[in-house]
């Protein structure tokens, strides 16, 4: 029993994502949030009209996430060169930063919940959807698009989480470089794949404005925690893992890994792009032919003619490619693909129910034309 307790204690102590909250990490977090908010306000970027809400109103989103990322990285570069910022600060304080961010999210979710409950607004974005079940309302949120000082919290929060993931990865890479003077092939692959994914996300940030989180999910603890704790700290587990485990992979394995990433990425990006273009122009040309449309509203060609959520398939393959560089010795680095797989299976069911209700017989017709949900020929 004693041996088991000692083992547990040592693995907990070794876990880079466990640690007590601290004031210094709160300063880092608040500083980071302030800078991302400021960059979002001052930097130029296209203003994109969001999806029409229940009351036919539309919110406008300033899509300057990529510009924010570039300026942030340039600023950090200057800070590092002048000795004001330590590139490894996050990698060395991952546990403290993670628990501090969690505590911050808890406080923020209560604030957002109370503000939402008190809202007198009748607009679709700010109307209060109180069910009376406090736990449910706090978890799922009571307002669709709450704002703070004019900032759309939901759009800002997901941006903060994706940028945070990128910055954690950079810090972890800096730490490995400091420890061993170079990046391992495994670390380089993970860093390259995840960097491409994040850069692509910001390159296509305007497509975010039509995703489920933005158009349908209310802003409660689930999104507050999910965007800023879960995304940056668990999506980066592979990087943390490679920091403390030496994994040697052959060039052939690396090439195969690259193929899986490219294949998954092509499906993921291609499918999301096709739907986005279709929403703008239903006569769009897809794979060389004018889009096949069902009931005048649903796209049934390209990836959307192969499976009803091919974009989820692509995302799952990409997630696996992030973990494969870590080898097969432990399930820990496979947390992200396992989570994403579960989430997307559940999400597809929820989206299916929503679309069934929204499109009714048109959706039934679409299901007949495209019977596969996510994995063609399997599911």
Of residues 30 and 356, the one with the C-beta less far from ligand NDP: 356
Which of 354, 362, 365, 372 is in the footprint of ligand NDP by CB under 6 A? 354
Minimum gap (Å) between residue 153 Cβ and ligand NDP? 18
Give pairs for 359-363: CB < 8 Å, separation 24+: 359/295, 359/297, 359/298, 361/295, 362/294, 362/295, 362/296, 362/297, 362/298, 363/298
Place of tokens 């590092």: 80
DSSP 302: G
> Which of 48/343 has CB closer to ligand NDP?
343
Nearest 5°: phi and psi at 294? -105, 125
Go through 175-191 and write b for each residue having 16 or more CB atoms within 10 A of its CB, e for each that does not. Answer: bbeeeeeebbbbbbbbb
Judged by CB under 6 A, the residue of 113, 166, 202, 312 near ligand NDP is 312
Q: Kindly tell me which of 112 and 317 has the beta carbon lying closer to ligand NDP.
A: 317
In which element (H, E) is residue 102 found? helix 94-118
Rule CB under 6 A: is residue 212 a binding residue for ligand NDP? yes
Nearer to ligand NDP, 25 or 105 (CB): 105
Site membership for ligand NDP, residue 315 (CB under 6 A)? yes
Cα–Cα distance, 53 to 129 (Å, whole number): 15
What's the closest the beta carbon of residue 54 comes to ligand NDP, in angstroms? 12
26 binds ligand NDP (CB under 6 A): no
- Judged by CB under 6 A, the number of residues near ligand NDP is 21
Shortest distance (Å) from residue 210 CB to ligand NDP = 6
| Nearest distance, CB of residue 169 and ligand NDP, angstroms | 15
Three-class secondary structure assignment of 346-376: HHHHHHHHHHHHHHCHHHHHHHHHCCCCCCC
CB 117 within 8 A of CB 130: yes
Q: Is 299 in the site for ligand NDP (CB under 6 A)?
A: yes
Residues 234-263 within binding reach of ligand NDP (CB under 6 A): none
Pick one of 171, 238, 272, 323: the residue that binds ligand NDP (CB under 6 A).
272
304 binds ligand NDP (CB under 6 A): yes
Structure tokens at 374: 């996510």
Q: Which stretch binds ligand NDP (CB under 6 A): 70-78, 236-244, 252-260, 342-350?
A: 342-350
> Is there binding between residue 320 and ligand NDP (CB under 6 A)?
no
Of residues 230, 229, 221, the one with CA closest to residue 112: 221
Count of beta carbons in the 10 Å neighbourhood of residue 19: 17
What distance in Å separates the CA atoms of residue 157 and residue 104, rounded to the nearest whole number? 13
The span from the CA of 2 to the CA of 220, in Å, is 41
Decide: is 287 part of the binding site for ligand NDP (CB under 6 A).
no
Q: Which CB, 112 or 158, lies closer to ligand NDP?
A: 158
What residues numbered 133-162 form the site for ligand NDP, per CB under 6 A? none
Closest C-alpha among 124, 104, 47 to residue 228 = 104
| C-beta closer to ligand NDP: residue 25 or 69 | 69
Name which of 58 and 347 has its Cβ closer to ligand NDP. 347
Interface residue with ligand NDP, options 63, 224, 237, 298 (CB under 6 A): 298
Task: State how far the Cα of 236 lies from the Cα of 221, in Å rounded to an integer.
Answer: 21
Nearer to ligand NDP, 236 or 311 (CB): 311
Q: Which residues bind ligand NDP (CB under 6 A)?
A: 211-212, 268, 272, 275, 278, 298-299, 304, 309, 311-312, 315, 340, 343-344, 347, 351, 354-355, 358
């Amino acid at each position: 029993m004693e041996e088991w307790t000692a083992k547990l204690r040592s693995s907990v102590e070794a876990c880079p994502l466990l640690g007590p909250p601290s004031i210094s990490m709160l300063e880092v977090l608040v500083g980071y949030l302030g800078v991302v908010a400021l960059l979002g306000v001052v930097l130029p970027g296209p203003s994109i009209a969001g999806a029409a809400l229940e009351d036919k109103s539309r919110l406008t989103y300033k899509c300057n996430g990529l510009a924010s990322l570039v300026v942030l990285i340039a600023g950090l570069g200057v800070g590092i060169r002048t000795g004001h910022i330590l590139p490894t600060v996050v990698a060395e304080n991952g546990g403290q930063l993670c628990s501090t961010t969690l505590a911050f999210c808890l406080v923020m979710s209560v604030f957002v919940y109370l503000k939402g409950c008190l809202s007198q607004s009748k607009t679709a974005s700010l109307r209060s959807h109180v069910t009376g079940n406090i736990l449910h309302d706090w978890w799922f949120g009571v307002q669709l698009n709450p704002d703070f000082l004019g900032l759309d919290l939901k759009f800002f929060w997901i941006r903060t989480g994706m940028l945070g993931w990128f910055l954690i990865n950079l810090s972890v890479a800096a730490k490995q470089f400091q420890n061993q003077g170079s990046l391992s092939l495994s670390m380089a692959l993970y860093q390259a794949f995840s960097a491409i994914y994040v850069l692509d996300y910001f390159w296509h940030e305007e497509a975010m404005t039509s995703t489920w989180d933005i158009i349908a999910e209310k802003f409660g603890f689930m999104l507050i925690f999910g965007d800023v704790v879960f995304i940056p700290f668990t999506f980066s587990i592979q990087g943390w893992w490679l920091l403390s485990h030496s994994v040697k992979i052959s060039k052939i394995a690396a090439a195969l890994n690259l193929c899986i990433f490219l294949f998954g990425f092509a499906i993921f990006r291609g499918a999301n792009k096709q739907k986005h273009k279709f929403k703008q122009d239903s006569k769009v040309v897809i794979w060389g032919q004018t889009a096949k449309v069902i009931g005048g509203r649903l796209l049934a060609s390209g990836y959307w003619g192969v499976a009803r959520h091919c974009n989820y398939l692509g995302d799952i393959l990409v997630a696996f490619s992030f973990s494969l560089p870590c080898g097969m010795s432990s399930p820990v680095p496979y947390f992200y693909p396992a989570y994403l797989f579960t989430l997307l299976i559940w999400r597809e069911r929820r989206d299916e129910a929503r679309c069934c209700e929204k499109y009714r017989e048109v959706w039934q017709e679409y299901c007949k034309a495209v019977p596969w949900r996510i994995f063609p020929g399997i599911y």
